[in-house]
């Protein structure tokens, strides 16, 4: 599964001033296919979710609640809407972690100008990182989608737990 393989990869972002921010991905959620009721794509192609219907390898960035951006990695084939929401990553400053999709995009200065951008640079890209061992991967149901019925309970959320102990949240 692509979502699980994104854990540990390094999210990289070049700012307008040339500085580069990096941080390992620590938490993701998968949204898979038109039938996934938790996905923005389940009602079909719209202006907002259009990038999800493109071929994988690009970003899907949208604004939620009028104040927070969320970053997704589009993973499906063309016309098959699938994406992985980046919910948490190491903070670029290396000190703390950015936990929560809105915090990740804020820490990396990601907004809708990157919607649909290819994930192979120049402003946003992914690098290989140390693979996260299975012992440190936790699977849980997704967050914030209680309206999705049975789909809300699918264990499509992947979290890196450094010690290999205790599920997050």
Partner DNA sequence: GGTGCGATTGCA
Partner DNA sequence: GCAATCGCACCA
Which of 118-126, 129-137, 141-149, 155-163 is the region at the interface with DNA (rule: CB under 7 A)?
141-149
Q: Which residues does 3 contact at the CB level (< 8 Å), separation at least 6?
A: 28, 29, 30, 75, 84, 156, 158
Distance in angstroms (rounded) separating the CA atoms of residues 77 and 105: 25
Q: Give yes or no for residue 117 binding DNA (CB under 7 A).
A: no
Q: Identify whether the C-beta of residue 64 lies closer than 8 Å to the C-beta of residue 1.
A: no
C-alpha closest to that of 72 among 38, 104, 107, 45: 104
Contact positions with DNA (CB under 7 A) in 58-97: 60, 63-68, 70, 72, 83, 85
- Closest separation in Å from C-beta 43 to DNA: 4
* Number of shown-chain residues binding DNA (CB under 7 A): 31
Which of 2-10, 19-27, 56-64, 133-141 is the region at the interface with DNA (rule: CB under 7 A)?
56-64
Q: Identify whether the C-beta of residue 139 lies closer than 8 Å to the C-beta of residue 157.
A: yes
Q: Give yes or no for residue 150 binding DNA (CB under 7 A).
A: no
Which of 143, 154, 161, 168: binder of DNA (CB under 7 A)? 143
C-alpha closest to that of 92 among 111, 75, 106, 102: 106
Residues lying near DNA in the complex (CB under 7 A) are found at 29, 31, 38-41, 43, 46-49, 52, 60, 63-68, 70, 72, 83, 85, 100-103, 143-145, 147
């Amino acid at each position: 599964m692509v979502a699980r393989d994104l854990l540990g990869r390094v999210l990289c972002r070049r700012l307008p001033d040339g500085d580069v921010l990096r941080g390992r991905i620590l938490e993701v959620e998968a949204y898979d296919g038109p039938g996934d009721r938790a996905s923005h794509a389940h009602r079909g192609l719209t202006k907002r979710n259009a990038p999800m219907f493109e071929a994988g390898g690009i970003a899907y960035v949208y604004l939620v609640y009028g104040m927070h951006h969320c970053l997704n990695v589009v993973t499906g084939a063309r016309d098959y809407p699938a994406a992985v929401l980046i919910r948490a990553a190491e903070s670029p400053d290396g000190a703390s972690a950015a936990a929560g999709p809105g915090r990740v995009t804020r820490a990396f200065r990601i907004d809708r100008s990157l919607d649909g951008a290819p994930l192979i640079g120049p402003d946003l890209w992914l690098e290989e990182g140390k693979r996260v061992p299975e012992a440190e991967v936790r699977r849980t149901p997704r967050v914030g989608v209680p309206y999705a019925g049975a789909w809300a309970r699918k264990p499509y959320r992947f979290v890196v737990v450094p010690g290999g102990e205790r599920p997050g949240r």
